[in-house]
Structure 1
Amino acid sequence: MQNIFFFHHSLFIKRCLTFITLITAFVALNGCVSTLDENPYTYTPSASPYQDVENAQQRAVEQSKLLLVVLGAQWCHDSTGLAERFASKEMDLILRAHYETVFVDVGTLEDRRNITQRFDYPIYYATPTVMVVEPKTGALLNRTSMDIWGRADSIPLSEYIQYFSRFPAMTTAQKAPFINWQATDEEKAYNKEQALRLQSAYDKLGPMLALDLQGNTPQGLNELWKETKGFRTELQKTLIKRAELSLDSENGNGVNTAPALRHYNPFSWEQN
């Protein structure tokens, strides 16, 4: 009787353990599925955003894809609006087929100049900032149209599809002007100086923005935001216009009459 009892008891334990193993495997499998279903287009804090971009660029080279770098933040409606369009079935197919995409979280306007300057772009002038890069050379293929993404949430999906379908179809000859493009020494010095000023504004805005996101809007935030927006918008407009005219001139499409490199008045806090 005792032997029979122990036999049945042992058999029962084995069956329980088998059942638990199956349940554990089922839960683990479900966990994998739910992870795959998560939206990959999110701005997640990273300990090494620059390394993330480097790694993505290397993968793009290895897979013969374009590199797509998006700098933005979860608090920014244009950044999240772009992420929502990217997650659509149509855009997701395009991005997975032709791009190695990396989202870079800028937090509360943190310094990401090391990333933008990797591709000869001084700083992010808006969130989101979208960079379409030829990964072997680091050439910025959408240099003359980056400003549109500052209003990403208002751009219809059809325009997203058209825009991001365009770059994979570019020929070597069409890419060449962007690969060969270089800022003048004067432009480089100017862009570096103005990017430093803009980052100083971001550094002042960042802590105020963090408080605002916690529900404690500090006095003067809106005024400072508007002042900084006016500065960064004009800077980017000039940068893009000069690049457009430079590229047109290289292609023999007219005389290069680039706008002057404007010098701005001090920020309000710089006058105190």
Structure 2
Amino acid sequence: MKSFMFGLALLFACLEAVADESSGRVYQPVTDTMAQVDRALARANEEGKTALIVMGANWCHDSRALATHLQEPSIAPELEQEFVIQYVDVGYLERNFDVNRRFGLPVIFGTPSALLVDPATGKLLNRDSVHIWGNAASFSAGETRDRLRRQATAPDNSIETGGHLAALLEDIDSFEQRQAGRIYAGFKVVGPMLAAYKEGEEASEFEHYWKQLYEMRTRLPRDLQRLRREARQRVADGETDIQLDFPVYAAFDWE
């Protein structure tokens, strides 16, 4: 509860502060987002680099902080040698989710979400750790660089799967898809409220709904990571007839 209240207070403080800040405002709506992503992938493949697709918004403090870190003169030249960066605007949580779905990520858990993609295969390299960028403002520029490098060179779920493990992972993917649908429905509820708040309207209902969505979308990626890790370990230990314990999340008020 304390962590949520801190996060909510930080959200409001950041929203208030945005008007006087210009750094990191790189998330712009365009009519050809997927074409931009295609060009980034093609360039990354040609240059032998990893594609870094950053999904965020200018209203989001952490989205702008991540962009500012990536442009920091002390590390930008290094990053340019390893990554081709493409920024994608998600607006007020209502646009461009076809980008994350393209790479097998059913939903983003928050802003920003930084997707590291192998341009040759189109494989998402950091599915289990993509959620860590939701507090990007707490990282230094150097920490940001180091985390990106680790995620790019030690891909998630790199072990070959088959048989029972494949079936378990498919069950986890199905669970994730169902919860993704609930999160998207939540985005449709809180997104317009967030936009209205930015225009100075009353925030009391927004706070209530944001809290519900926040609690689920911060729990879900950790639960998914735990389930996938448990499935792999139990199969590796030789267990059969494995039944995973899937979490149950409370219903939202709008459901």
TM-score by length of 2: 0.78
Give the Å deviation of 1:120. Answer: 1.4
Q: Which residue of 1 aligns with 2:208?
A: 223
Q: Which residue of 1 aligns with 2:158?
A: 178
Q: Which residue of 2 aligns with 1:211?
A: 196
Give the Å deviation of 1:62. Answer: 1.6
Give the Å deviation of 1:193. Answer: 1.6
In structure 1, what is the Cα distance between the partners aligned to 2:131 and 2:231?
17
Match of 2:128 among 132, 144, 149: 144
Gaps of 5+ in 1: 1-37
Give the Å deviation of 1:39. Answer: 7.5
Aligned-partner residue type, residue 185 of structure 1: E
Aligned-partner residue type, residue 199 of structure 2: Q
Q: What is the CA deviation profile of residues 101-120 of structure 1, one whole-angstrom value per residue up to 9, with x for unaligned ones?
A: 11111100114332112211
Aligned 8 A contact 1:205 1:224 in 2 = yes
Aligned length: 228
Q: What is the CA deviation profile of residues 174-229 of structure 1, one whole-angstrom value per residue up to 9, with x for unaligned ones?
A: 55953857783322322222111100100011111111111223440011111100
Secondary structure of the structure 1 residue equivalent to 2:85: strand
Secondary structure of the structure 2 residue equivalent to 1:131: strand
Q: What is the CA deviation profile of residues 4-36 of structure 1, one whole-angstrom value per residue up to 9, with x for unaligned ones?
A: xxxxxxxxxxxxxxxxxxxxxxxxxxxxxxxxx
In structure 2, what is the Cα distance between the partners aligned to 1:59 and 1:248?
38
Gaps of 5+ in 2: 1-21
Q: Whose helix proportion is higher, 1 or 2?
A: 1
Secondary structure of the structure 1 residue equivalent to 2:254: helix
1:98 equivalent in alignment to 2:82 = yes
In structure 2, what is the Cα distance between the partners aligned to 1:151 and 1:259?
30
Match of 2:146 among 162, 182, 187: 162
In structure 2, what is the Cα distance between the partners aligned to 1:121 and 1:176?
13
Match of 2:99 among 107, 110, 115: 115
Aligned-partner residue type, residue 75 of structure 1: W
Q: Which residue of 1 aligns with 2:253?
A: 268
Q: Counterparts in 2 of 1:46-85, with a 5 A limit?
A: 46-85=30-69
Task: Indicate the larger mover: 82-91 or 137-146.
Answer: 137-146
**Aligned-residue identity in percent:** 30
Pairwise CA RMSD: 3.0
Aligned 8 A contact 1:143 1:240 in 2 = no
In structure 2, what is the Cα distance between the partners aligned to 1:176 and 1:49?
26
Distance change (3 Å), C-alpha of 1:196 and 1:46: same
Q: Which residue of 1 aligns with 2:112?
A: 128
Distance change (3 Å), C-alpha of 1:254 and 1:79: farther
TM-score by length of 1: 0.73
Match of 2:178 among 189, 193, 196: 193
Task: Indicate the larger mover: 260-269 or 69-78.
Answer: 260-269
In structure 1, what is the Cα distance between the partners aligned to 2:231 and 2:78?
30
